[in-house]
């Protein structure tokens, strides 16, 4: 019993810092560090500098999701995420162990043929070169887990978890897509709840995956999200639904909504880039998520709406999961349980694309702490 | 067919014997049962208390070691944290978890608080249960003054969530905030957990670690890895197997625990001896019933078996009773006292009794065996007597006469002496114990032949009563022997233990005198790794009015071997020439030291445990480097059982650059008042608890009190052994008197007065017990030599000088003689009071 699950309490507790997959530790007993940089409208991300880490912001993540297929044509879904969070500590501590930044990583590999989801996670305080998120370009690692952008623009990712590992390279085929107002993405009625956010859709994937000791060359298509913020969610939010879909015609759709208590929707947003590269962004009123089918996790008894109709402007996408059980379970502490899975998108009964769906805040324990 | 009948026959015999025994002499089995019960109760109680403390200790240690495969450990002062990323990047290492272990001095508290500075994100994979106890507070923990306390620590310190906790760092108090309490079922001992960054900062140990836990990649061989790693580690840092780490404290106290168990077994054996003597007398008493049974066709073997089984039965009853009483005593001790049995290193809270069925079965079995053995010896002798002779009333002596000649006794005694010289086994004085057992048995076997010779050689005094008494003893040599042996066994053990404890106490006092030459002793709060005096502090103390001279010492813990308790390094102002007068040296090097050699004086424990010899070389890990020292002498140290090494402070300063101090001694200027100086020194510091300062007299008094406390258990067991022995003496006397009713009748018949018979008995008692006391004293002195020079030396790694408490022993001997004479008279009176003729007629 020395698997990754042993790390769950610390992992999930630290996740509580990451607006990404849990909620800010608002209940901390000491005043937060006020030195966080604020997300302001009008500051447009520039590259390559903004590929890198933004240490002065509270939370940041690089999120790669995508579809793979093996030589035999069997589909697989994968997720590789690196989080960076800047804890509220007294920063004058000269100790090299001082947790100025925490780095967290999460990886999952779903195999619908076997009906299996492998997942693992890492967490460490940055320091000693053992874990770090570099500024200037994407280069983030914890031990031997890493995601790095090379000079040619390709991303190299490597994670070796319990019974599976991913060695993948992502080749950009399109420029970054700036979400929201040129990369300024609001997350709630309070204008301070916002992030800088860009996506890179249609990453071509090459590499190999190892599942329970079996090595397979894979290829596929992925999606990268890079987002940083100091106040991601406002206080009324309990979770969100998110999709990132690579459309078969070369277009891309990103849509999200932030949910409040009692089924209210506090905010929503979407980006749609057509095959020609024309980008359209949408106001909350233009985005709607309608659940079609619930799936109840046999492990956690949490019900997730895993089939959806999503309206983005004039588009009406129907989303169906690659497999029902793509729940990520870090239950052993803070209740950071979420569903993150590969989905197929169809429109008017015809398949139009593939991507990932993320559902957070559906578990009862998932609430502001 | 035949065999079954024979077995049935034996059972029948047994039943007859048992019923007659209980009906005729109900007291006798009760005594046997009680003797065995006391022995078993003592042994099992000590074992249970020890076991409970140790189990709790090991459980706590296991929690701290967690799931690591290798523990890299330096001394308390630690090593540079640069080792951590090196190990973390090692391809064989899956997880490396850095730890800063600190014994934090708490103002006004006698014991420091163990604080672990950890990276909970990494420790979570090593000590998951412990970190789970911190729970969701992990990120709170990153607050630089935050600490989590275990429930035991919180209870001891009276601190709750949100409270401030004062800690002494350097010479100044600082405050931590208690962020939360780790539940007792997670960790039962006092402990604090801090974030490693906070601990480094708060305790002024930036850049330092003293432990790194490693978990290896699956499939790597931890032992091979450990050996490989050890070769690359800087001096003073050790790669340790988790089991060794877990057992450090247990190993350190093992000899102490074995000794206590041995003492308890001594009580059990004394009980066995009581069984032997009561069974012997009982056989004697039932001689004609036994002879009748033999005449009726019961075979010799059946009789022997039946009598042995009878002894086993008393043993079983006594054993069962003893287990119950033992468990009760143990439970009470755990409830009422700390469970350390007088040993600080075993101090533990919340120890609870756990059933240890195997060990308890063993004690029970020992009770049965010992009792059966005690019964078997006389049974064998009784079965050998021809029935006709026994029926006529003869052969009384033969019934209990040892069949072993003097040679076995001589051989055992010689073997006992020889065995004592054999080296210890696994740091335990196994051969010492065997030697004591051999000497004891051999000496007891020698009692009959020696008694016979002594009584034969006794000159006629011309006084009727005394001469008759000696003649009577001579004729009843078997009975005399029994009484004598009871006295000898109990008295010799008592003498041996009294001499050992007395020798130790005298040596301890002398040692204290040598170690406390000054008027005032001062030190930083005890056991703390966090406080010290800076050179400015030292200057302030030296400048206090009334101080003529002050000597400062720097003590610190260093590791010479990973799996052992740390050794105390004492850097003090002395030269080779002064060492002989300042240190209680037991061995020195004659002749010149190698040029430029830095001298080190090692305590006996260091010499024993690590095998260093005077004149040899010693590598001391100081500031991450191994420094070569020359072993200039071996000194005696009763204070640090893990070992201590004295070096010159100048050498220490040169090697480490550390000019702080942790201890000091003040010599007052003539005519100065100690109390005033103590007060003035206190004023040098912001807070009175930055140091402990006491007059040497007070230190001495306190130390002796601790010494006596440590020996309380020993005294108690000794007293119980003596009581069992005295019971044996009394019981033997009364049995003898009863058995000799016919003889008294005859004496009365031939004209002796009643008073004369009683005086005769008193004389017999005095002669017998004097013999016993003298013999026991001699044996006791021999045994004490083994205790002092072998068992003590090998168990505790310190020598003591033999000192014999003549006065104390004389009084004890006199009491024993008086008791023997008293019981003889008392029991004789009732025996003689019967009608002489009737007694004579009685065909016993």
pLDDT cut 90: percent of chain B above it: 11
Task: Determine if the pTM surpasses 0.80.
Answer: no
Q: Contact B201/A25, CB-based, under 8 Å?
A: no
| Range from A119-123, B41-45, B368-372, B523-527 carrying the lowest mean pLDDT | B523-527
For B673-712, how does the pLDDT look when each residue is reduced to its tens digit (9 = 90+)? 888 888 888 887 766 666 778 888 888 888 888 778 777 7
Q: How many domains does chain B have?
A: 4
Residue of B98, B136, B204 to mutate when probing chain A, most A C-beta within 10 A: B136
CB contact B142 to A (< 8 Å): yes
User: Looking at residues B577-589, what average pLDDT do you find?
Assistant: 83
Answer yes or no: is pLDDT of A251 > 70. yes
DSSP 8-state symbol, B688: G
At B245 the pLDDT is 73
Q: Contact B131/A99, CB-based, under 8 Å?
A: no
Structural tokens at position A133: 């998120």
Question: Helix, strand or coil for residue B267?
Answer: helix
| pLDDT band, residue B132 (cuts 50/70/90) | confident
The rounded distance, in Å, linking the Cα atoms of B174 and B198 is 13
DSSP 8-state symbol, B790: I
Q: What is the mean pLDDT of chain A?
A: 84
At B781 the pLDDT is 93
Residue B839 lies in a domain: yes
The domain boundary, picked from B644, B672, B697, lies at B697
Pairs of residues, one from chain A and one from chain B, whose beta carbons lie less than 8 Å apart: 93
Residue A37 lies in a domain: no
Residues B245 and B258 in one domain: no
Considering only the beta carbons, identify the residue of A6, A94, A124 that sits closest to B201.
Answer: A94
Residues B531 and B605 in one domain: yes
Residue of A29, A87, A95, A330 to mutate when probing chain B, most B C-beta within 10 A: A95
Residues of the domain holding B152:
67-249
Residues B58 and B127 in one domain: no
Residues B704 and B642 in one domain: no
Q: Contact B144/A89, CB-based, under 8 Å?
A: yes
Answer yes or no: is pLDDT of B383 > 80. no
Q: How many CB atoms lie within 10 A of CB A48?
A: 12
Residue B223 lies in a domain: yes
pLDDT cut 70: percent of chain B above it: 81
Residue of A3, A5, A10 to mutate when probing chain B, most B C-beta within 10 A: A10
Question: Helix, strand or coil for residue B822?
Answer: helix
Q: How many domains does chain A have?
A: 1
Q: Contact B88/A130, CB-based, under 8 Å?
A: yes
At A15 the pLDDT is 40
Give bridge partners of residue B743 from the DSSP assignment: none
Q: What is the torsional sign of CA B116, B121, B127, B129?
A: positive
Give bridge partners of residue A4 from the DSSP assignment: none
Residue A273 lies in a domain: yes
| Range from A185-194, A242-251, B230-239, B456-465 carrying the lowest mean pLDDT | B456-465
Answer yes or no: is pLDDT of B402 > 60. no
The rounded distance, in Å, linking the Cα atoms of A73 and A76 is 9
Q: In this structure, are strands B146-150 and B164-169 parallel, antiparallel, or unpaired?
A: unpaired
Residues B188 and B286 in one domain: no
Which range has highest mean pLDDT (A26-40, A97-111, B676-690)?
A97-111
In contact, A115 and A109? CB cutoff 8 Å? no
List chain B residues with CB under 8 Å of A14. 121, 138-139
At B749 the pLDDT is 76
Residues B530 and B470 in one domain: no
User: Looking at residues B183-196, what average pLDDT do you find?
Assistant: 87
The structure tokens 């007070």 sit at B698
B494 phi, psi to nearest 5 deg:
-60, -45
Residue B415 lies in a domain: no
Q: Contact A9/B201, CB-based, under 8 Å?
A: no
Residue B531 lies in a domain: yes
CATH number at residue A191: 2.40.370.10
Measured CB to CB, residues of chain A less than 8 Å from chain B are 2, 6-7, 9-10, 13-14, 16-17, 25, 28-30, 87, 89-90, 93-99, 102, 123-125, 128-130, 143, 333-334, 369
Residues B531 and B509 in one domain: no
At B17 the pLDDT is 65
Residues B50 and B174 in one domain: no
The domain boundary, picked from B642, B662, B697, lies at B697
Residues B600 and B484 in one domain: no
Residue B443 lies in a domain: no
Q: Which residue of B has its CA nearest to A93?
A: B201
Helices (H), B684-753: 696-710, 712-739, 741-749
Answer yes or no: is pLDDT of A366 > 60. no
Q: Contact B138/A10, CB-based, under 8 Å?
A: yes
CA distance B55 to chain A (A): 24
| pLDDT band, residue B754 (cuts 50/70/90) | confident
Q: In this structure, are strands B113-118 and B192-195 parallel, antiparallel, or unpaired?
A: parallel
Residues B274 and B125 in one domain: no
Residue A38 lies in a domain: no
Answer yes or no: is pLDDT of A78 > 90. yes
The domain boundary, picked from B664, B682, B697, lies at B697
Structural tokens at position A45: 């991300």
Burial of A120 (0-12, 13-18, 19+ CB in 10 A): buried
In angstroms, what CA-CA distances link B279 with B73, B274, B298, B445, B731? 59, 8, 20, 17, 11
Q: Which residue of A has its CA nearest to B203?
A: A95
Residue B693 lies in a domain: yes
Residues B201 and B303 in one domain: no
In angstroms, what CA-CA distances link B147 with A84, B16, B117, B400? 25, 73, 9, 72
User: Looking at residues B341-359, what average pLDDT do you find?
Assistant: 56
Considering only the beta carbons, identify the residue of A16, A87, A333 that sits closest to B142.
Answer: A87
Residue A191 lies in a domain: yes
Residues of the domain holding A184:
4-17+48-360
| Range from A52-66, B442-456, B519-533 carrying the lowest mean pLDDT | B519-533
CA distance B261 to chain A (A): 38
| Range from A27-41, B252-266, B639-653 carrying the lowest mean pLDDT | A27-41
| pLDDT band, residue B10 (cuts 50/70/90) | low
Residue B650 lies in a domain: yes
Q: What is the mean pLDDT of chain B?
A: 79
User: Looking at residues A158-176, what average pLDDT do you find?
Assistant: 94
Q: Contact A96/B196, CB-based, under 8 Å?
A: no
Residues B33 and B81 in one domain: no
Q: Contact B84/A2, CB-based, under 8 Å?
A: no
Residue A188 lies in a domain: yes
The rounded distance, in Å, linking the Cα atoms of B556 and B571 is 9
Q: In this structure, are strands B172-182 and A350-360 parallel, antiparallel, or unpaired?
A: unpaired
Answer yes or no: is pLDDT of A16 > 60. no
In terms of residues, how long is chain B? Answer: 844
Beta strands in B236-340 (DSSP E): 238-240
Which range has highest mean pLDDT (A195-199, A365-369, B468-472)?
A195-199
Give bridge partners of residue B697 from the DSSP assignment: none
Provide the b/e sequence for B228-245 (b: ≥16 CB within 10 Å): ebeeebebbbbbbbbebb
| pLDDT band, residue B623 (cuts 50/70/90) | confident
Assembly ipTM: 0.84
Residue A104 lies in a domain: yes
Residue A263 lies in a domain: yes
User: Looking at residues A1-21, what average pLDDT do you find?
Assistant: 34
Give me the residues of B, 151-190, that contact A with CB < 8 A.
179
Give bridge partners of residue A358 from the DSSP assignment: A242, A340
Helices (H), chain A: 8-15
**C-beta pairs of A148-155 under 8 Å, 24+ apart in sequence:** A149/A48, A149/A51, A155/A64, A155/A203, A155/A224
Residue B157 lies in a domain: yes
| pLDDT band, residue B530 (cuts 50/70/90) | low
């Amino acid at each position: 019993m020395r698997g990754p699950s042993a790390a769950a309490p610390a992992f999930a507790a630290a996740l509580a810092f990451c607006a990404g997959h849990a909620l800010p530790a608002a209940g901390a007993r000491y005043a937060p560090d006020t030195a966080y940089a604020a997300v302001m409208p009008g500051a447009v991300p520039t590259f390559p500098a903004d590929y890198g880490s933004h240490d002065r912001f509270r939370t940041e993540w690089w999120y790669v999701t995508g579809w793979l297929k093996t030589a035999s044509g069997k589909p697989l879904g994968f997720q590789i995420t690196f989080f960076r969070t800047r804890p509220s500590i007294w920063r004058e501590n000269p100790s090299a162990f001082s947790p100025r930044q925490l780095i967290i990583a999460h990886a999952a590999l779903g195999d619908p043929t076997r009906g299996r989801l492998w997942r693992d996670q890492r967490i460490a305080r940055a320091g000693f070169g053992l874990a770090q998120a570099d500024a200037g370009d994407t280069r983030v690692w914890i031990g031997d887990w890493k995601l790095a952008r090379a000079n040619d623009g390709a991303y190299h990712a490597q994670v070796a978890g319990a019974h599976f590992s991913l060695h993948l390279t992502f080749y950009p085929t399109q420029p970054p897509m700036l979400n929201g107002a040129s990369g300024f993405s609001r997350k709630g009625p309070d204008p301070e709840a916002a992030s800088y956010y860009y996506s890179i859709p249609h990453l071509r994937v090459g590499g190999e995956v190892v599942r329970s000791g079996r090595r397979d060359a894979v290829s596929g298509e992925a999606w990268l999200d890079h987002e940083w913020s100091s106040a991601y969610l406002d206080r009324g939010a309990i979770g969100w639904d998110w999709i990132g879909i690579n459309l078969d015609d070369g277009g891309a759709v990103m849509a999200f909504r932030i949910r409040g208590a009692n089924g209210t929707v506090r905010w929503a947003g979407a980006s749609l880039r057509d095959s020609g590269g024309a980008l359209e962004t949408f106001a909350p009123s233009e985005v709607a998520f309608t659940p079609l089918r619930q799936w109840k996790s046999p492990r956690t008894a949490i019900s997730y709406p895993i089939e959806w109709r999503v309206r983005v402007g004039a588009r009406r996408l129907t989303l169906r999961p690659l497999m029902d059980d793509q729940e990520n379970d870090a239950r052993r502490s803070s209740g950071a349980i979420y569903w993150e899975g590969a989905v197929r998108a169809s429109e008017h009964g015809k398949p139009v694309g593939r991507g990932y769906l993320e559902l957070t805040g559906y578990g009862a324990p998932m609430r502001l702490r | 067919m035949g065999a079954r009948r024979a077995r049935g026959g034996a059972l029948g015999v047994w039943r007859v014997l048992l019923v007659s025994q209980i009906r005729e002499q109900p007291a006798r089995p009760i005594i046997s049962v009680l003797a065995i019960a006391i022995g078993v109760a003592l042994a099992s109680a000590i074992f249970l208390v020890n076991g409970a403390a140790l189990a709790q200790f090991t459980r706590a240690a296991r929690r701290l070691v967690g799931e690591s495969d290798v523990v890299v450990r330096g001394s308390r002062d630690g090593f540079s944290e640069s080792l951590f990323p090196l190990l973390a990047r090692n391809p064989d290492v899956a997880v490396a978890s850095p730890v800063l272990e600190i014994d934090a001095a708490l103002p006004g508290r006698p014991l420091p608080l163990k604080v672990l500075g950890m990276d909970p994100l990494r420790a979570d994979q090593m000590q998951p249960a412990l970190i789970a106890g911190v729970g969701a507070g992990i990120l709170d923990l990153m607050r630089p003054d935050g600490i989590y306390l275990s429930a035991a620590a919180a209870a001891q310190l009276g601190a709750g969530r949100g409270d401030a906790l004062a800690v002494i760092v350097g010479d100044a108090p600082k405050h931590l905030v208690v962020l939360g309490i780790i539940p007792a079922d997670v960790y039962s001992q006092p402990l604090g957990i801090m974030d490693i960054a906070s601990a480094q900062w708060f305790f002024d140990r930036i850049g330092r670690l003293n432990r790194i836990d490693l978990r290896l990649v699956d499939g790597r061989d931890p032992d091979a890895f450990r050996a490989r790693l050890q070769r690359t580690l800087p001096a003073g840092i050790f790669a340790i197997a988790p089991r060794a780490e877990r057992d450090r404290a247990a190993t350190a106290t093992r000899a102490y625990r074995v000794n206590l168990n041995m003492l308890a077994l001594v009580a059990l054996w004394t009980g066995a001896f009581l069984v032997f003597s009561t069974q012997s007398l009982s056989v004697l008493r039932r001689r004609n019933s036994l002879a009748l049974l033999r005449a009726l066709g019961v075979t010799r073997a059946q009789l022997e078996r039946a009598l042995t089984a009878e002894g086993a039965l008393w043993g079983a009853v006594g054993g069962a009773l003893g287990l119950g009483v033992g468990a009760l005593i143990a439970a009470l001790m755990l409830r009422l006292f700390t469970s350390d049995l007088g040993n600080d290193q075993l101090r533990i809270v919340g120890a609870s009794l756990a059933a240890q069925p195997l060990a308890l079965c063993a004690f029970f079995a020992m009770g049965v065996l010992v009792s059966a053995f005690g019964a078997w010896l006389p049974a064998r002798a009784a079965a050998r007597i021809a029935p006709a002779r026994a029926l006529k009333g003869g052969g009384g002596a033969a019934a209990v006469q040892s069949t072993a000649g003097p040679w076995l006794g001589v051989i055992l005694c010689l073997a006992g002496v020889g065995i004592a010289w054999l080296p210890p086994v696994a740091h335990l004085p196994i051969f010492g114990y065997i030697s004591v057992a051999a000497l004891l048995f051999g000496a007891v076997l020698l009692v009959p032949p020696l008694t016979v010779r002594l009584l034969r050689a006794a000159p006629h005094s011309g006084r009727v009563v005394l001469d008759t008494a000696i003649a009577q003893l001579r004729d009843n040599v078997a009975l005399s022997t029994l009484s004598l042996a009871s006295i000898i066994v109990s008295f010799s053990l008592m003498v041996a233990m009294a001499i050992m404890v007395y020798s130790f106490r005298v040596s301890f006092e002398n040692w204290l005198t040598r170690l406390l030459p000054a008027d005032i002793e001062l030190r930083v709060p005890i056991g703390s790794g966090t406080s010290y005096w800076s050179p400015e502090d030292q200057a302030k103390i030296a400048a206090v009015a009334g101080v003529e001279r002050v000597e400062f010492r720097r003590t610190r813990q260093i590791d010479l071997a990973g799996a052992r308790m740390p050794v105390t390094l004492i850097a003090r102002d002395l030269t080779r020439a002064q060492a002989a007068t300042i240190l209680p040296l037991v061995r020195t090097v004659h002749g010149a030291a190698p040029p430029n050699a830095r001298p080190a004086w090692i305590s006996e424990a260091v010499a024993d445990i690590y095998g260093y010899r005077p004149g040899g070389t010693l590598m001391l890990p100081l500031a991450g480097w191994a420094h070569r020292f020359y072993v200039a002498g071996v000194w005696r140290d009763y204070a640090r059982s893990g070992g201590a090494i004295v070096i010159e402070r100048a050498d220490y300063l040169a090697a480490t650059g550390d000019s702080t101090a942790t201890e000091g001694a003040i010599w007052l200027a003539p005519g100065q008042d100690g109390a005033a100086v103590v007060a003035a020194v206190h004023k040098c510091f912001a807070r009175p608890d930055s140091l402990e300062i006491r007059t040497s007299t007070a230190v001495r008094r306190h130390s002796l009190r601790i010494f006596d406390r440590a020996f309380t258990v020993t005294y108690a067991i000794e007293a119980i052994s003596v009581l069992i022995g005295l019971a044996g003496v009394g019981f033997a006397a009364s049995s003898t008197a009863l058995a000799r009713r016919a003889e008294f009748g005859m004496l009365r018949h031939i004209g002796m007065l009643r008073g004369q018979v009683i005086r005769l008995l008193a004389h017999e008692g005095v002669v017998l017990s004097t013999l016993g006391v003298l013999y026991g004293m001699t044996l006791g002195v021999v045994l004490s030599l083994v205790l002092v020079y072998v068992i003590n030396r090998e168990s505790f790694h310190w020598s003591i000088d033999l000192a014999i408490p003549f006065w104390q022993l004389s009084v004890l001997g006199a009491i024993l003689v008086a008791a023997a004479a008293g019981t003889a008279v008392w029991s004789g009176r009732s025996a003689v009071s019967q009608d002489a003729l009737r007694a004579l007629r009685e065909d016993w």
